[in-house]
Every structure is written in structure tokens, then in C-alpha cells.
Homo-oligomer: A and B are copies of this chain.
Amino acid sequence: MQNFIYYNPVKIVFGKGTIPELAKLIPADQKVLLAYGGGSIKKNGVYEQCAAALEKHEVVEFSGIEPNPQYTMCMDGVALIKEQNIDFLLAVGGGSVLDTVKFMAAAALYDGAEPWEMMSDRGASIERVMPFGAVSTLPATGSEMNMAAVISRKETTEKCGMASPHLFPVFSILDPETTYSLPPRQTANGIVDAFVHVTEQYLTYPVHAPLQDRQAESILLTLIEDGPKALENPRDYEIRASMMWAAANALNALIGRGVPRDFATHMIGHELTALYGMDHARSLAVVLPGLLQHQRDRKREKLLKYAARVWDICEGAEDARVDQVIARTEEFFRSVGIPTRLSDYDIPADAVQKVAENQKKRKMLLGEHGDLGSKEIEEILRLRV
């Protein structure tokens, strides 16, 4: 096992009927920025529940946050926060709303001229942030229980991450009933996003970390068993609760402590989203099978463990088992309605080179060995046309 630090102070308030807890979770004297997306929370009753819980608070709204939230939009929010003397930020929605709030919480107190410098590949340090919490309504990104955020910048076709121990929400309310009204596409995207978060912390090379391996398998098995049921019976509370807790556990860092990690799928996927606007999870479903295929020898031992324990593939030659488990993974994505080839999304033929070139510019080597460059990324994507 590798040395590690584990720290996760998010207070999770989980279950039906928990949104009224907001009244106590945010001190009464705090002026609140209520941040949300395109208005779905006004249709499913979540907005009303939040408004009722915050009836004694002074509340300013910031709405219209879109998927793959943009830097300029975030900076508009920062201006509003300063103008309105906001004390506390509340994200109500999915990962995009949460990530917007995380960025704004840090940018509002950032000392430099250009808050974009806080993104991980620029590396300005994040010293302090405004307090913020969440009502999470979409199990997918895990942002509700971690210290990371991803923000996009259209003018430079960038989609970049940021991370800091200051970026944990003070609390996250997870009420599975808020997910009843999710469109199937978003439910399916969430399943795939959470699934890939786990494989990225599991399918690398073996160190002796039997607990982390089994904890990772626990989440994958839960997603495989209950994910399709969430699509079949969107108003099944127990299934929605299972999905919501699985997604939070997929990226709350626990399974990734003490083991190698390989976020190449996310990094390559971000390029596809920045260039072509692909749904985040769909970019992952395209990239992951290619990465596993390309890296099959270096990931062999973990792929065989994954095959046996998650998919019950135990018979036959090693190579055949690896083939099978990559195919089964792709089939699972397709079974929840997520296409897995670039051609399924009408991505132009030169996408492969474009992504590789973009990656080259950013000078980041990917993978658990830190040695996948633009050449390998091109090879991986060629497997996915």
C-alpha cells in the first residue's frame, strides 16, 4: 500500500425529506446565494422546498448554470457575490452547479487578477474559500462529497480541473426523491460517470490494498445491479437511494487512497467535451474501452481481478478474459443507453488528431505511470472511431 492522507469533512445529510435541514445547516444570519441550473428544480418541487427551508434567510438567486459551466459565467457570479455581500453559497442541482459554486467560492476570495490561474494545470494555490453547501439532485460526479471541480473555457476550448482541501462542501443534502424526475439520459450518464470514477482508481497495477480493491468492486457491483433498475423504475426510492450513495462513494477519495490512480479517461474525455460538446459521461464511455485495450498488458493483473470479481469471468486464457471483460464493460454502457463509439456521436474524422494536439499543448502526461502522451492518446482514440 502506498502512503496516503485521507481527509473528508463533508457532512452528508441523506434521505427523503431532508431538505428542510437547510434551515439549521446554514446559520440564520448568513446572506445566501442560491445557485441553480436551467429550472428543472422549479418543476420537481426542489426549489420550493429550498425556498421554504430558507424563508428566514436573506436569499439572492443565481440561475441558468449550464452543463460544463463556463468561466465567464462563473465570473459573473463572483461579481454578484461581491456586489450583494453574500456570506454563504448554496448549490442546488448536479455536478455542474456544484462545481460552479466551488469555483466561485474560491474565486471570490482569490487575491490574484485572474482566478483561472487556480486551475490545476496552472497551479496558483487556493488559500481560502467562502463557505458553501449543496442540495445534490443528480448522482454522478461525486462533487457533493469531494474537493474537486471542473470548469470550461469556450474561447480556449479548455475544460480543466481544480482541487483543494478547502473545496469540500460544508454539507451536502442527498435526498433520493429529488432524482425521480431525472431524464433517462441523465440517469444513465450518472451511472457511467460513477462507474468510470471507480475504474480509474481500481484498474491500474496491483499494490497490496485488498480493502480498497473490494470497496471499489462493491461500488461497481452496486451500479451494475441497481443502475438498470433506476432506468426501469425511476420512482423506486430504494434504487434511487442506492444510486445516490454509490455515486458519492465513487469519488469521495476513499477507494483511491494508498493505490495508484489513472484519470486518463477523464482527461481525454474533457478534451472531447471541450471540442465537441459531448456529454461528459458519454465521452468517458467512448474513451475507457480504448484505454483498457491500449494498456491491457500493463493493467493485466487488475483487469483479471475485475473480470473475476465483478463480471464472474474466470474461465479461459488470460487474453480471452481480458477481451471479454473489456467487451462486457462496453456492453454495460450500451445497455443503459450510452453509445460507446465516436462515430455514434457524429464526431468528425479529425477529432483523433485534434484531441492529441490539444493534449500535447497542455504538456501533461497521463496514466498511472505518467507516461501517456499525445501519441498514445491518438492510438487510444483510433480504437474508438
Q: Is the CB of B14 within 8 A of A257?
A: yes
Which listed residue, B13, B214, B217, touches A5 by the CB 8 Å rule? B13
Q: What are the residues of chain B within 8 A of A238 when measuring CB–CB? A: 1, 208
Question: Could you give 14 example pairs across A and B, Cβ below 8 Å?
Answer: A1-B238, A1-B241, A1-B242, A3-B14, A3-B18, A4-B12, A5-B11, A6-B11, A8-B9, A9-B9, A15-B258, A211-B242, A214-B222, A215-B215
A49 within 8 A of B: no
Q: Is the CB of A218 within 8 A of B221?
A: no
Given contacts A210-B221, A215-B218, A238-B208, contact A4 B9 (CB under 8 A): no
Interface residues of A in 1-32 (CB under 8 A from B): 1-18
A246 within 8 A of B: yes
Given A3-B17, A6-B12, A210-B222, output 7 extra A-B contacts at Cβ < 8 Å.
Answer: A2-B15, A5-B14, A9-B9, A210-B226, A211-B246, A212-B245, A217-B218
Q: Is the CB of A218 within 8 A of B214?
A: yes
Q: What are the residues of chain B within 8 A of A226 when measuring CB–CB? A: 210
The total of chain A residues at the interface (CB under 8 A) is 42
Which listed residue, B4, B210, B239, touches A14 by the CB 8 Å rule? B4
CB nearest neighbor in B for A171: B7
A344 within 8 A of B: no
A327 within 8 A of B: no
Q: Is the CB of B221 within 8 A of A214?
A: yes
CB nearest neighbor in B for A21: B5
- Distance in angstroms from A149 CB to nearest chain B CB is 20
Q: Which of A10, A210, A226 has the most CB of B within 10 A?
A: A210
A246 to B249, CA, bound (A): 17
* Binary interface encoding of chain A residues 255-299 relative to chain B, with 1 for a CB under 8 A from any of its CBs, else 0: 001100000000000000000000000000000000000000000
A209 within 8 A of B: yes
Q: Is the CB of A5 within 8 A of B1?
A: no
Q: What are the residues of chain B within 8 A of A221 when measuring CB–CB? A: 210, 214
A225 within 8 A of B: yes
- Distance in angstroms from A223 CB to nearest chain B CB is 9
A219 within 8 A of B: yes
- Distance in angstroms from A147 CB to nearest chain B CB is 13
Which listed residue, B15, B217, B225, touches A3 by the CB 8 Å rule? B15
Given contacts A214-B222, A215-B215, A217-B214, contact A242 B3 (CB under 8 A): no
- Distance in angstroms from A18 CB to nearest chain B CB is 7
A18 to B2, CA, bound (A): 12
Q: What are the residues of chain B within 8 A of A254 when measuring CB–CB? A: 254
* Binary interface encoding of chain A residues 201-237 relative to chain B, with 1 for a CB under 8 A from any of its CBs, else 0: 0000000111110110111011001100000000000
- Distance in angstroms from A248 CB to nearest chain B CB is 9
- Distance in angstroms from A93 CB to nearest chain B CB is 21
Q: Is the CB of B14 within 8 A of A209?
A: no
Q: Is the CB of B245 within 8 A of A1?
A: yes
Which listed residue, B3, B242, B246, touches A208 by the CB 8 Å rule? B242
A242 to B6, CA, bound (A): 15
Interface residues of A in 24-57 (CB under 8 A from B): none
Q: What are the residues of chain B within 8 A of A13 when measuring CB–CB? A: 5
A226 to B43, CA, bound (A): 52
Q: What are the residues of chain B within 8 A of A249 when measuring CB–CB? A: 211
Q: Is the CB of B222 within 8 A of A218?
A: no
Q: What are the residues of chain B within 8 A of A3 when measuring CB–CB? A: 14-18
Q: Is the CB of B209 within 8 A of A242?
A: yes
